[in-house]
Amino acid sequence: MPKHVVIIPGDDAAPEAMAPAVEILKSLALDLTFTEFPSGVEGVQQYGSRGAFDAALREAIDRSDSTLFGSTNGTTGGLNHLRWGKQTFANVRPARWRPGFRSPLKNPEHIDFVIVRENLEDLYMGLEGDLGLLSSLPVTSWLTRKPLDTTPTGKFAIKVITEEGSRRIARFACELARKRKAQGGRGKITCTSKYNMLRDSDGLFRRVVEETAKGYPDLHYEQYIVDDFARRIVASPGDFDVVVMPNLYGDILSDAAAGTIGGLGLAPSGCYGETYAYFESIHGSAPDIVGRHIINPTATLLSAIMMLEYLGFEAAASRLDQAIVHVYADGQPLTPDQGGSASTMDFCAAVRRYL
């Protein structure tokens, strides 16, 4: 059975990375078929409305084995469906330095860790509103022992951490660390959250991860409060293997992690659920460079490699990975974010030569 993937190019400069990346995927001549959507602005025009475009994306996603998603500024929908609709609870964000990556750190050689970000809970559930709405809630601060004052004009946001949600991300992280250990990895799980201050919510997350890790005696377990971890990610990123954390910290710290290896242009991600996974670069839609064809397609290509692995095309994934490694080892042609002056297409052409 051929595998079928949906290509969503996204908005602003993201389609400029997606188009040549998809050409490369096609050149691999795999048993892989594609449904390709237009970019956000064209899609809304073509389908008549944002709603119709979103509905078409959802239907296509439901018929597919996976999706490669270009960054969105909100014009292209689909993200809600890909995350909450498909219950892709584990956001895997590798930070791996390769020779030629323009890291700002002096010794980036040992950076090879993966952030496993819980992807569906925490402050990301859209539960916000006027403070006054909470007036009938019997909540008292464990810190000040005072009830919530809902009289000021203001807003609230609700953070939800569940035991089940924490357990499944903890298991996922442990399984990943085990898999990496079998391939020579450190066999280490690091848990981070603000468990000293958010004692109930982040405290639950930490407790569940710690308990889960006990079921993996072959792995080393450690934990850091998230502010301390933020320093460590800059000071000693080479110490980490698999790091598991709630949603919002994962969003913020995966950008920081990308910074340690040389920037967002190099940082891929995959969002995995029980029955579906989709793949996207960590970076945004780069509106500042739209139309210039200088966006670094590496993040999109590395995300595509994660997708190929997920779909069972391991050999092709490894070939593509090696081709990218070769181009960076050569040190040219690279895009401006990596100190070069090449276009997105020049870079992709070099990858194709190595392929």
- Chain positions contacting Mg ion, by CB under 5 A: 251
The amino acid occupying position 155 is: K
Record the tokens describing residue 49, joined without a space.
């409305």
**What gap in Å lies between CA 187 and CA 81, rounded to an integer?**
33
Q: Which does 334 bind (CB under 5 to 8 A by kind): Mg ion, ligand IPM, none?
A: none
Q: Which does 169 bind (CB under 5 to 8 A by kind): ligand IPM, Mg ion, none?
A: none
Element (H, E) at 50: helix 50-62
Q: What is the DSSP string of 291-339?
A: TSS---THHHHHHHHHHHHHHT-HHHHHHHHHHHHHHHHHT-S--GGGT
CB 312 within 8 A of CB 339: no
Q: Name the residue with the smallest CB distance to ligand IPM.
A: 251
Site for ligand IPM in 221-250 (CB under 6 A): none
CB of 282 to Mg ion, least distance (A): 6
Q: What is the DSSP string of 236-251?
A: -GGG-SEEEE-HHHHH
- Which residue in the block uniquely carries the two structure tokens 């810190």? 143
CB of 73 to Mg ion, least distance (A): 13
x/- map, 257-296, ligand IPM, by CB under 6 A: -------------------------x--------------
Q: What are phi and psi of 72, to 5 degrees?
A: -120, 150
# chain residues binding ligand IPM, by CB under 6 A: 2
* Of the candidate residues 118, 122, 251, 337, the single one contacting ligand IPM (CB under 6 A): 251
- Decide whether 72 or 343 has the Cβ nearer to ligand IPM: 72
- Decide whether 264 or 316 has the Cβ nearer to Mg ion: 264
| 280 strand-pairing partners | 69, 269
Q: Which does 61 bind (CB under 5 to 8 A by kind): ligand IPM, Mg ion, none?
A: none
CB 293 within 8 A of CB 345: yes
- Decide whether 54 or 251 has the Cβ nearer to ligand IPM: 251
Element (H, E) at 295: none
Q: Name the residue with the smallest CB distance to Mg ion.
A: 251
118 counts as binding ligand IPM under rule CB under 6 A: no
Record the tokens describing residue 219, joined without a space.
């792995």
- Decide whether 11 or 216 has the Cβ nearer to ligand IPM: 11
Q: What is the dihedral of CA 88, 176, 255, 98, to 10 degrees?
A: -130
**What gap in Å lies between CA 279 and CA 264, rounded to an integer?**
15
CB of 269 to ligand IPM, least distance (A): 7
CB of 26 to Mg ion, least distance (A): 29
CB of 299 to ligand IPM, least distance (A): 11
- Decide whether 71 or 343 has the Cβ nearer to Mg ion: 71
Polymer length of the chain: 355
- Decide whether 243 or 317 has the Cβ nearer to Mg ion: 243
Record the tokens describing residue 162, joined without a space.
């569940």
Residues forming the site for ligand IPM (CB under 6 A): 251, 282
